[in-house]
Chains A and B, each alone.
Chain A
Amino acid sequence: MENAVVIDRLTKKFGDFTAVDEIGLTVQKGEIFGFLGANGAGKTTAIRMLCGLLLPTSGSGSVGGFDIYKETERIKKSIGYMSQKFSLYQDLTGDENLWFYGSVYQIPRRDLRKRMEELTETLGLSEFTNRPAGSLPVGWRQRLALATALLHRPKILFLDEPTAGIDPVFRRRFWEILYRLADEGTTLFVTTHYMDEAEFCRRISIMHQGKIIEVGKPQDLIARYDQPNLQETFITLISQEGGNG
C-alpha cells in the first residue's frame, strides 16, 4: 500500500529549544492516523512542517509523495487543513466562504457550484449556507470549516483538534463523516485531546517533549501496557516519561 506521509528524523529547533526532536512516522493511504500528545509536545509544529508552513531544521519527509523541503507548493495543492480555530471569515456567509476558498484553489467555476452543493448536502449544511459564518453554532461552523478544507478534494486531510469545544453528539457525527472520507480513500491525520476519539483511529502515535514515544494500534497499546482503556494508557506512558506531561 502507498504511503501518504513518510517522515524520518524530522527535527525543528527554535533557537536552543527543540520543539520536534527526530521524529519518524509512516502513514498509509486511506488511514485515519491519530497524532496524540500533551499540550506543548510539539504536535502543531510537526503538522505545520508537514503542511509546508514551516521549514524543518533537519531530517526528511514527504507528504503525498512530495518533499517537504522542495515541493511545498505541490503539497499545498494535495492537502486539506483544518485547524481548531475553524478559520472562516465570520462576516461572510457559508456559501461565500466556500466560494472564496474554492476560487483560491482554482477549482473550475462550473465544478465549484456543484461541489459546494454536494458537500453542503453530505455535511447537512444546506440550510446554513446563507448565514454569516460567525452567527453559526460552533458545531455547524466546524462542519463549514471541514467543507472549505474538502472542496478541492485533498488526498490527505490534516485536522488539528477539529472537535475542540464541540458537544458529544456533534463529535460523533463529525467522526462518522471522517470515516466516510477514509473509506473513499482520503488519508486523515488527526490530533485530538479526546481519548475516546483517539480510539476511532486505526493507528496512533504519542508525542512527548518533541519525541514520538509510542506508535501502534490503539487496542495493541492498551494491551501492551495492560490498561483498561486508551486514556489510562496515555497517562501511564506520559508519567513514565516524566517531565511536564
Chain B
Amino acid sequence: MVRTILALMKKEFLQVIRDSNMLRMVFLMPIVQLFLLGYVASTDVKLISTAVYDDDRSGLSREYVRSLSAGEYFITDTPEISLLEAERGFRESRYEVALIIPRGFSRKLQESKQVKIGLMVDGTNANSASIALGYANVITRQFNERVTGFSPPITLRQKRLYNPEGESVYFMVPGIVATLLTMITMLLTSMAIVREREIGTLEQLMVTPISATALILGKTIPFALIGFLEMSVALFLGVTWFRIPFAGSWGLLYALSFLFLFTTLGTGMFISTISTTQQQAMFLTWFFAIFAIMTSGFFAPIANMPRSIQYLTYLNPLRYFMTTVRGIMMKGASLDVLYPQVMAMIIFGITIFTFSWLRFSKRVK
C-alpha cells in the first residue's frame, strides 16, 4: 500500500517536471499572481494629480497648497490653471482633483470669518474619489488648527489597527496565498486524474490490484505538497519583497491550510469524476474557483454584497479559509478566535472529501 502510493507520487512528480506547461503553471503562477495583484490590484490611493486654481495668491493660500502636497497623497506641481482648463483636464483624465481657493481667502481667515475652499473630484471611481476627499478633509482640519490656533471641541482620535500604514498589499498577499492554494490543488488534482482517463492509463491501472485508497492518496498527496510549496513561495516573497508583517503563528497557518486542502482536493477529485477531457476539467475548475474567489471576500468585502449573496457565501469554503489566513497573518489570530472558521472547514472538508472519495471509488471499481 505504502509502496504503491510512493510509486504513484514519484510518477506524478516526474510527470509534472517533464511537462513544461505544467511546470510553468506550477512555478510561474504564484510569482505572476503575487506581483500582478500585489502591485496592480493595489487599492491604495496615492499620488493624486491635483490641479490648483489659486485666486487668492497670498502666502496663506500657498501654504495651504503646500500642506496639501506635503504627504504622498496629492501632487500639485502642475502649473496654475484656469477653471475652464480644469474641466477639460478632468475629461482628459489629466487631473483627479481640482482645488479652488477663492479670492479673499487669507483676508477672511485673518478676520476669523468663514472661508470656503472648492474641491472637485473625478467621481468615476467612487472608491478612490471618497478616499481622496477623506485625505483632503484631514489635511484641511490640521491646517485649520495650525493657522487659527483653535480646535473644535470634539475631535476623533483615529487609530488603524493591524495595518497602520493602510497598505493594501498587506491585505492582498494573504488573499493571494489563499486563492493560490485553492486553484493549484484543485486544478492539478482534477487534471491529473482526467489525463489518465484520456490516455487510457486509468483503465490500465484499474486492471492492476491497486486499491482505490492507494490511488486516491497517490493522486492527491503530490498536489497537496505542490500546493504547500506554492504557498511557501508566495509567503516568502510576501515577507521578503513586499515586506508584509506576519503577526501570527506559521505553524497554525500551515496546519489550517492542511485542513482546508481536504476541501480543494476533494473538489478536484469530484471534478475529475464529472469530466471526460482535460479541457472540461479545466473549465469546471475555473468555474468553481471564480465563484469561490468572488464570494470569499478576496476583493470586495462580503458585508458590501447584497443580503442574498451574503447568505450564499456561507456555502463557500474559501470564505472561511480567507478569513483564517488574513486573521493569522494580519491580526495574529489564534484558534480561540478562529474556531468558527475551523469548524466550518472541518465540516466542508469531511463532507466534500468523503463524497468525492465514494464517488471516485465507485467510478473506478
Per-position binary interface string of chain B over residues 1-17, scored 1 when its CB falls under 8 Å from any chain A CB and 0 otherwise: 00110111011001100
Do B14 and A53 touch (CB < 8 A)? no
Asked if B199 lies at the interface with its beta carbon under 8 angstroms from chain A, I say yes
Do A92 and B209 touch (CB < 8 A)? no
111-133 of chain B: CB within 8 A of chain A: none
Q: What's the tally of chain B residues with a CB closer than 8 Å to chain A? A: 22
Asked if A87 lies at the interface with its beta carbon under 8 angstroms from chain B, I say yes
Residues of B within 8 A of A53 (CB): 203, 206-207
Q: How far is the CB of B68 from chain A (nearest CB, A)?
A: 61
Assuming A92-B15, A96-B14, A132-B18, is B210 touching A104 (CB within 8 A)?
Answer: yes
Residues of A within 8 A of B210 (CB): 104
Which of A88, A105, A106 contacts B201, CB < 8 Å?
A88
Residues of A within 8 A of B152 (CB): none
Asked if B59 lies at the interface with its beta carbon under 8 angstroms from chain A, I say no
Which of B4, B6, B19, B203 contacts A83, CB < 8 Å?
B203
Do B208 and A105 touch (CB < 8 A)? yes
Which of A24-32, A73-81, A179-187 lies at the interface with chain B? A73-81
Q: Which residue of A lies closest to B214 (CB)?
A: A104
Asked if B78 lies at the interface with its beta carbon under 8 angstroms from chain A, I say no
Assuming A100-B7, A104-B7, is B209 touching A87 (CB within 8 A)?
Answer: no
Main SS of the interface on chain B? Answer: helix
Residues of B within 8 A of A188 (CB): none
Assuming A104-B4, A106-B3, is B207 touching A81 (CB within 8 A)?
Answer: yes
Residues of A within 8 A of B19 (CB): 91
Q: Which residue of B lies closest to A47 (CB)?
A: B207
Q: How far is the CB of B120 from chain A (nearest CB, A)?
A: 61
Q: How far is the CB of B277 from chain A (nearest CB, A)?
A: 15
Do B206 and A91 touch (CB < 8 A)? no
Binding site for B on A (CB under 8 A): 51-53, 73, 76-77, 79, 81, 83, 85, 87-92, 96, 99-101, 103-106, 132, 148
| 20 pairs from A and B in contact (CB 8 Å cutoff) | A52-B207, A53-B203, A53-B206, A53-B207, A76-B207, A79-B207, A83-B204, A89-B199, A89-B201, A91-B14, A91-B18, A103-B7, A104-B8, A104-B209, A104-B210, A105-B209, A106-B3, A106-B4, A106-B209, A132-B18
Q: Given A89-B11, A96-B11, A104-B8, 20 other A-B contacts at CB below 8 A?
A: A52-B207, A76-B209, A79-B207, A83-B203, A85-B199, A85-B200, A85-B203, A87-B199, A89-B15, A89-B199, A91-B15, A91-B18, A92-B15, A96-B14, A100-B7, A100-B10, A100-B11, A103-B4, A104-B7, A106-B209
